[in-house]
Structure 1
C-alpha cells in the first residue's frame, strides 16, 4: 500500500498551505504547527491526541487543531485514512473575520477536536478543490473567506475566554523566547535553567505543563519550522539539516517525516514545482 502526501501553497491570504494525503502506516509523533489544522476525512479514520485526550475522526468528520496545539495522528483502521487539510495562521483568521472578535480578546479557539458538520465539510471540500485547480483569485478568496468565517462562527470560542489555568511565568517565557529566536542553538538544559533561574527538573515540568512539550521537543518543532522555510527557499536538505541544528540529514529526515508525513526532499521538490507553476 503506497502512502502519498501532496503539499501545495495557495496564493491567498499571503500564502495558505494545503495538504492532500493518504496514509496507511504513518504515525505522527507529538508535534505542533504554527497555524491551525482544518481537515476533512475523505475515507478511513484517524485516531489522534489533542488537548489531553485521544480522539477519533471517521469519514466526513472535520478535524480542528488550534495553532501550537500538541497533537499526533495515526490510522484507526486497517486500510489507513485519507484527508484534505489547510493550515491557516492566527493572523489569517483575524484578517478574514476581524469583526467576529469585536468585544473578545485573542484569536479563535476550537474546543472540539472533531466536529460533525456535513454542510461545512462539503464547503471545505469545495474550497480545497478550487484553491488547487482554479486560477480565479476573486472566486477563491470569496469561497475561502466564507468558509473560514462560518467555521469560526459555528465552532470556535475566544482563546481568552476558553483557556484556563495560570499564565506561564516570565521565567518560562524567557526560555520559550530563546528557543523561538535561536532554534538551531545547541543549548543545554542547564543553560536554560540558569536563564530562567529555575532548577532543571522544575523547568522541564513547568515548561511542559504550559506549552505541551518539554524544552527539547519544543526546540525540535522550532527547528522543523525553520527547515520548512529554508526548503521552500530552495536550500538542499543536507545544508538545511546543519543550519537548523540537526546532527545530519538523516536526523532531519526522521523528525520531518514524523511531523509532516513526507521526507524533506519530497517537500522541497513539491515546493519548487509550486513556485515554478506560480511564476508562469
Structure 2
C-alpha cells in the first residue's frame, strides 16, 4: 500500500510472532505485482477494488475477504473519492499448518485456498472484529484464542478439501483443571499453550471443550474471574488504578471498558453504589 503511508500501520504482537498485521486508511490502494511467503488475508472497507491473481482480474466488492496463497504473485488497484480502510493479516505457514493439524486431530497437509474471494459474511465480520481486537492491549490468552478460532473457521469454511473436525469427547476433568488454573493465576499473562498443557489437549480442542462445558472460551472466563475479584477489591475501597493492576489488566482504561461491559456501570459508579446498603429492619 503506497498511498498516504502516514496513515498505514504495520505491526506484530509479541504473543503472535507468526502474524503480521496491516491497517491503512486511504483513497488509493495500489500495489505492484508481488508475493508473500505467508498466507495473506485482506479486506477493504468503504469501496471495492481490482485484484489480479492467477491470470484473472477480480472486481472485489467492499467488505469481501481476499485470500492469497503463499508465494503466488498478485497486484491490486483501487481509487476512490473517499477514505477507505484496509485490514490485512499475513499468516505464517507453520502456524497455519499447526491449526489445520489441531482441527483434524492428526497430521494433515497445508490448507490450500483455491478461491481468492470469500463471500461468507459471518467469517468476514469475524476477521474484522479480530483485527480490531488486536489493535487493543488485550491479553495474551485472548489474542491467541481469537486468532486460533479465526484460522480454524477459515480452514473449515474456505479450504479445498477441509479436514473433518475431531469429535469432542467427555473432557470434564481436563477442562476443570484449566478452570482451576485460571482462577489461581487470574492476574497473570497465561498462554493458550500453557492451558493446553494443563489439560493435555490441543489448543483448538481445549477451546472447544472449555466453551462447551462452561459456556465461554478460556479468555472470556479469565476476564470474568478478574472482574469478580475487582468488585471485591473496589468494595474494600482500593483505588481503581490499584485494582486494574492487581487484577492483571493492561491499563486502567482497558479494565474500565471490561468492567462496564460486564457489570453495566463504571468502576467509579460501582464504588459509589456499593455504599448504598439498605437496612430492612428500619
TM-score for the superposition, normalised by structure 2: 0.51
- Are the counterparts in 2 of residues 8 and 17 from structure 1 also a CA contact under 8 Å? yes
| Distance in 1, Cα, partners of 2:49 & 2:79 | 5
Residue 8 of structure 1 corresponds to: 11
Larger Rg: 2
Check if 1:93 corresponds to 2:63. no
**Quick one: which of 95, 120, 125 aligns to 1:122?**
125
**Quick one: which of 69, 73, 97 aligns to 1:70?**
73
- Paired residues for 1:164-179 under 5 Å: none
Residue 112 of structure 1 corresponds to: 115
Pick 1 or 2: higher relative contact order, CA cutoff 8 A, min separation 6.
1
**Quick one: which of 155, 161, 174 aligns to 2:158?**
155
Residue 148 of structure 2 corresponds to: 145
- SS of the aligned residue for 2:42 comes to strand
Residue 226 of structure 2 corresponds to: none
- Are the counterparts in 1 of residues 100 and 110 from structure 2 also a CA contact under 8 Å? no
Quickly say closer, same or farther: Cα 1:112–1:76, change in 2 above 3 A: farther
Of Structure 1 and Structure 2, the greater helix share is in 1
**Quick one: which of 8, 16, 20 aligns to 1:17?**
20
Quickly say closer, same or farther: Cα 1:54–1:144, change in 2 above 3 A: same
When the two structures are aligned, how many residues end up with a matched partner? 159
**Quick one: which of 60, 78, 86 aligns to 1:83?**
86
Deviations 1:69-123 (A, max 9, x none): 1110110544464211110011111122313456885311111111111111111
- Are the counterparts in 2 of residues 40 and 84 from structure 1 also a CA contact under 8 Å? yes
Residue 135 of structure 1 corresponds to: 138
| Distance in 2, Cα, partners of 1:112 & 1:125 | 20
| Distance in 2, Cα, partners of 1:158 & 1:10 | 31
- What's the CA shift for 1:129? 1.6
Runs of 5+ unmatched residues, structure 2: 163-282
Check if 1:40 corresponds to 2:21. no
